[in-house]
Structure 1
Amino acid sequence: MQNLIENAVVYGLENSVRVSKYPMQIDISKCTDEITNKTRSLAGAPRGSGHDNFLKGIVVQFDLTFTVKAWTEAERYHWFDIVSSQSTMHRISKMNVDDCCCSYVTEKTKKYVKELQQNYLDDQTPENYLRLLYNAPTGIMLTAGISTNYLQLKTIYGQRRNHVLPEWRWFCSWIKSLPYSWMITGKDYDGDEDYRTWPRGRSGRYTWED
């Protein structure tokens, strides 16, 4: 069992709903944070149309644990910001290979990395360090603090929910647990969608075998 998401918090939902009403209002003091049919229409606009731009104001922050392979793909998203992260560059020689690799990394691969770790610890040359660093498997799990928003998550959900990497599919399932997740997915949500009662610091657990 692996915790992929921890310490999740959501900010700005009510205010973003309120300001989404500005374009059609002359007296903005009349704009409220009530979710209306117009709110639903804007949120459901096609990705890239610009009509759903208010979703950018709904900020989500969390700690995310992904494989190096998944992180390589995540970095393509402009508004999926890495606040800080674990680093193989700094800590690869200290990592417990058995603990930090996903279940798809073979025992043969892990054994080889351990040998390279020991070679470096015995003889700490730049060459030995680079040999260890460049042979680290893409199945190593690293945790990063992420800051993103509903608009970016809407793009990710549309592109990744059926992805071949299991952690992407799981991440998209987790997106559906967010308050008012229908703004992202376009689908009805039958759980607790009250922004005020959504638990701060919510975690998500994932089993690789699922």
Structure 2
Amino acid sequence: MEHKVMNNVRVYGLEESVIASGYPMKKSYHPELIEGLPETLTKKDWKRAKNLANTPPASGHDCFLKGVIVQFDLTITEKMWPQFQRYTFADFVSSMSTIHMLSKMNAEYIKYTDKKIIKDFEDIVADFNCDPSRDNWLRMIYSYPSGLLLTARITTNYLQLKNIYKQRDKHPLPEWKWFREEMLRLPHFKEWCTGGKLDDSGY
């Protein structure tokens, strides 16, 4: 892995969602189950959550994963960002801005970015900084390499990350591979979201 894709990761609502995964089979509501977390969690709860989480995407059985909220800083290239933005359940908290800061950035690039292209772009930035005309700004904003690394704070959930993990398997961009590898470090993600099936009881 060339650079860490996910930083400052926070996971919320995991245990609460494990309890909620059992609601469809409850005869009555017991608020004390969540109020008493984590002591109220049982082996049966964890087994049920694992089996439900491993059902096929779009089956509906894994919907409790929506309650496991994840926030992280995502650092990827301009080549990957448009692909990531296709996922509508990944919200941007805030992101670096090329519109406002491109001429002042301490620009970093993925290692595959051609050095000559970087040098040519640095010359364009220098031209703008010497003469900040609109034409020079437009020349700069339309010329930066697709290997430029930009960071955004993302809010999403385990259900969306499960879909991403499965859909981006074998994608040719190495960043997707790195992103998938870092997902596996999330609590319970590997055992819940990378494959499996229901046991005989349906849970």
What is the TM-score of this pair, normalised by structure 2? 0.85
Aligned runs of 1:24-103 on 2, under 5 Å?
24-29=25-30, 33-34=41-42, 35-97=45-107, 100-103=108-111
Counterpart mapping for 1:38-187 below 5 A:
38-97=48-107, 100-181=108-189, 182-186=191-195
**Separation in 1 of the partners of 2:8 and 2:138?**
34
Q: What do the CA deviations read for 1:143-165 (whole angstroms, capped 9, x no partner)?
A: 11111110000000001132111
Q: What do the CA deviations read for 1:72-127 (whole angstroms, capped 9, x no partner)? A: 11000011111111111111111234xx1111111110111011111111221111
Which runs of 5 or more residues in structure 2 are unaligned? 34-39, 197-203
Q: Is the 8 A contact 2:51 2:192 kept in 1?
A: no
Deviation at 1:36, TM superposition (A): 4.2
C-alpha distance in structure 2 between counterparts of 1:63 and 1:16, whole Å: 23
Specify the SS of the correspondent of 1:93.
helix
Amino acid at match of 1:183: W
- Secondary structure in structure 2 of the residue aligned to 1:138: coil
Contact 2:5–2:178 at 8 Å: present in 1 too?
Answer: no
Pair 1:128–1:79, CA change in 2 (3 A): same
Calculate percent identity across the aligned residue pairs.
44
State the 1:140 CA deviation: 0.2
- Tell whether 2:14 aligns with 1:13: yes
Q: What is the CA-CA distance between 1:40 and the residue it aligns to?
A: 2.4
Q: CA 1:124–1:17 in 2, change beyond 3 Å: closer, same or farther?
A: same
SS in structure 1 of the partner of residue 104 of structure 2:
coil
> AA paired with 1:138?
S
Q: Is the 8 A contact 1:89 1:133 kept in 2?
A: yes
Q: Following superposition, which runs of at least 4 residues in structure 1 exceed 4 angstroms of deviation?
A: none
Alpha-carbon separation, structure 2, partners of 1:76 and 1:15? 28
- Whose radius of gyration is greater, 1 or 2? 2
**3-state SS in 1 of match to 2:79:** helix
Partner residue, 1:2: 3
* TM-score, normalisation: structure 1: 0.83
Residue deviations 1:130-153 (CA, integer Å, cap 9, x gap) = 111111111000111111110000
Whichever residue aligns with residue 16 of structure 1, its letter is: S
Report the more deviating stretch, 85-94 or 35-44.
35-44
Structure 1 counterpart SS, 2:10? strand
- The RMSD of aligned alpha carbons is 1.6
The residue identity in structure 2 corresponding to 1:83 is V
Kindly indicate whether the alpha-carbon contact (under 8 Å) linking 1:12 and 1:58 is maintained by their aligned counterparts in 2: yes
Between stretches 22-31 and 127-136, larger displacement belongs to 22-31
